[in-house]
Homo-oligomer: A and B are copies of this chain.
Amino acid sequence: MSTTQTSKIEIIKAATTKINEVDFENLSFGSVFTDHLFECDFKNGEWQKPVIKPYAPFLLDPSTRVFHYGQAIFEGMKAYKDEDDAIWLFRPDENYKRFNKSAVRMAMQEVPEDIFMSGLKELLQLDEAWIKRGKGNSMYIRPFMIATGTGVIANPSDDYKFMIILSPVSAYYAGEVKVLIAEHYSRAANGGIGAAKAAGNYAAQFYPTSLANKQGFQQVIWTDDATHTKLEEAGTMNVFFRINDTLFTAPVSERILDGVTRKTLLELAKSEGINVDVRPVLVSELVEASKNGSLKEIFGAGTAAVVSPISGFSYQDVYYELPKNENSMALQLKDKLTNIQNKLAEDTFGWTVKV
Contact = CB atoms under 8 A, between A and B. Distances in A.
Interface of A: 29-31, 33, 37, 55, 57-63, 66-72, 74, 76, 104-107, 140, 142, 144, 146-147, 150-156, 163, 165, 167, 182, 184-193, 198-208, 210, 225-226, 228, 235-236
Contacts of A201: 70, 200
Contacts of A67: 66, 72, 74, 144, 146, 199
The residue among A29, A66, A188 with the most chain B CB atoms within 10 A of its own CB is: A66
Chain B CB within 10 A, most for which of A58, A70, A185, A193: A70
Given A60-B60, A62-B37, A200-B70, A30 B146 contact: no
A70 B72 contact: yes
B57 A61 contact: yes
Nearest to A69: B202
Q: Which of A76, A167, A201, A236 has the most CB of B within 10 A?
A: A201
B31 A199 contact: no
A290 B114 CA distance: 52
Q: Say how many copies of this protein the assembly contains.
A: 2
A307 B200 CA distance: 29
A225 B190 contact: yes
Contacts of A210: 107, 156
Given A58-B62, A61-B57, A190-B186, A72 B153 contact: no
A203 B70 contact: yes
Across chains A and B, which 9 residue pairs bring their CB atoms closest together, nearest first?
A: A200-B200, A70-B199, A189-B189, A107-B206, A226-B226, A30-B152, A69-B202, A70-B200, A189-B225
Contact of A207 (B106, B199, B208): B106
Contacts of A186: 189-192
Nearest to A223: B191
Contact of A153 (B29, B74, B185, B189): B29
B57 A62 contact: yes
B191 A106 contact: no
A144 B191 contact: no
A105 B201 CA distance: 13
A280 B142 CA distance: 43
A193 B199 contact: no
Nearest to A193: B204
Contacts of A140: 152
A151 to B, nearest CB: 5
A192 B165 contact: no
A54 to B, nearest CB: 11
A101 B67 CA distance: 18
A307 B273 CA distance: 63
Contact of A107 (B74, B152, B154, B203): B203
Contact of A154 (B33, B37, B191, B235): B235
B198 A70 contact: yes
Nearest to A57: B59
A134 to B, nearest CB: 22
A189 B182 CA distance: 13
A333 to B, nearest CB: 23
Contacts of A146: 67
27 contacts: A30-B63, A31-B151, A57-B61, A62-B165, A67-B74, A67-B199, A68-B72, A68-B199, A69-B202, A69-B203, A70-B198, A72-B203, A105-B207, A107-B206, A140-B152, A154-B205, A154-B235, A156-B206, A156-B210, A185-B191, A185-B192, A186-B190, A187-B189, A187-B192, A189-B225, A192-B204, A198-B203
